[in-house]
Amino acid sequence: MNASPAATGMRALRAALAELRIDELRIESVGGVLHLHGIAPCYRTKRQAQERAEALMPGATVHNHLCVAERAYVDDAAVERELRRRLAGMGVPVPGRVSVEVRGAVVSLYGQVADEAERRQLREAAAAVPCVRGIEDHLMLASLEPADTEVARALSEYVQRSMNLPPGVVNVSWRSGLATLTGSVATETQRQAIEELVLWHDHVTDVANRIRIVPRLRAATPASHLRPGDPPP
Global pTM reads 0.41
The string of DSSP letters for 76-98 reads HHHHHHHHHHHHHHTT--TTTTE
Q: What is the mean pLDDT of the chain?
A: 81
What is the reported pLDDT for 71?
57
Give every CB contact of residue 197 below 8 A, 6+ residues apart in sequence.
158, 159, 162, 163
In the chain, CATH 3.30.1340.30 sits at 76-143, 148-213
Question: What are 131-164's pLDDT values in tens digits?
Answer: 787 888 888 877 555 667 788 888 888 898 888 8
Classified by CATH at the fold level, domain 5-68 comes out as: Alpha-Beta Plaits (3.30.70)
Could you give the residue range(s) of every CATH 3.30.70 domain in the chain?
A: 5-68
Q: Is 33 helix (H, G, I), strand (E, B) or coil?
A: strand
CA neighbor of 57 nearest in space, from 36, 83, 86: 36
d(CA 36, CA 34): 7
The CA-CA-CA angle for residues 207, 213, 217, to 5°, reads 170
**Which of 7-11, 72-76, 95-99, 184-188 shows the lowest mean pLDDT across its residues?**
72-76
C-alpha neighbours within 13 Å on the C-beta side of residue 96 = 8
What CATH class is the domain 148-213?
alpha beta
Task: Give the residue among 94, 21, 105, 36 at the shortest CA–CA distance from 66.
Answer: 36
Residue 218 has pLDDT above 50, yes or no: no
Cβ within 8 Å of residue 206, ≥6 positions away? 95, 99, 177, 178, 179, 199
The CB density around residue 87, as the number of other CB atoms within 10 Å, is: 20
Q: Which value, to the nearest 10 degrees, does the dihedral of the CA atoms of residues 63, 64, 67, 69 take?
A: 170
For 35-67, the pLDDT digits (tens) are: 999 888 777 888 889 999 998 888 889 998 888
Fold adopted by 76-143: Histidine-containing Protein; Chain: A; (3.30.1340)
